[in-house]
Amino acid sequence: MGRCFDNNEKVVVPINIEDIKFRINTEEHGSEIEFRLLEMILSKTFTLLFMLNGGAAVALLAFLGNYITYDAASIRGMLWALGFFAVGAALSVAVAALSYISQSHYCRGTNENIMYMDMTLQIGEPIDGGILVPKDDTLKYEKEITRRLTKGDRYRTKAIVVCVCALICFLIAVIIFSYTIY
């Protein structure tokens, strides 16, 4: 966003009123679609990770019931594999929580942007080359939008890292299980 300051501490937003109205409409519609899409992805990711690790743990318990020998090493290996499956299932819940928090920050950032554009329409003075708005209001909204999007990015990164950890737990458990039964 280009800025030009005058003596009244105002900022020129280089955009016309029709563009702002279009962007408000587009952002409102786009944020609804984005939220539904990410909600769907979140539910699928959670379901798949939980089923992957939880299902493997249940299958391991069923196998353990039929496999029971009095060999302490094999039972210990099975328990380690079961532990990793359980940790992977727990991490899938953490992925769901982190993804929800991330999406919440993105939606709030989008809402702040819509409110900023609406404020620009309401209190801005149309001039050649844009709309003149108070500097303090502009800086407040820019800081809030940036803060929300940055938090959303951080939580998204954490969710991705935890998701990878859940997959690693699954792989470690499979490796432990395969070495245990051979």
SS3 (DSSP) at 78: helix
**Do residues 91 and 166 lie in contact, with contact meaning Cβ atoms separated by under 8 Å?**
yes
pLDDT in tens, 45-91: 767 777 777 777 777 777 766 666 667 777 788 889 888 988 888 88
SS3 (DSSP) at 170: helix
pLDDT in tens, 153-179: 899 899 999 989 999 998 999 899 888
Cβ-defined contacts of 163-168 (< 8 Å, 24+): 163/45, 163/49, 163/91, 163/92, 163/95, 165/91, 166/49, 166/53, 166/88, 166/89, 166/91, 166/92, 166/95, 167/49, 167/88
SS3 (DSSP) at 117: helix
SS3 (DSSP) at 1: coil
Tokens (6 digits) for 20 = 């702002």
Where does the pLDDT of residue 7 fall: very low under 50, low under 70, confident under 90, or very high at 90 and above?
Answer: very low
Sheet holding 10-13, edge to edge: 10-13, 130-134, 125-127
Question: How far is 53 from 83, CA to CA, in rounded Å?
Answer: 10
pLDDT: which is higher, 134 or 159: 159
Q: Can you say how many angstroms the Cα of residue 38 is from the centroid of all Cα atoms in its chain?
A: 8
**Do residues 76 and 179 lie in contact, with contact meaning Cβ atoms separated by under 8 Å?**
no
3-state helix, strand, coil in the chain (%, to 5): 80, 5, 10
Whether 1 has a pLDDT exceeding 60, the answer reads no
Contacts of 144 (CB under 8 A, 6+ apart): 109, 112
Query: Which pTM value belongs to this model?
Result: 0.67
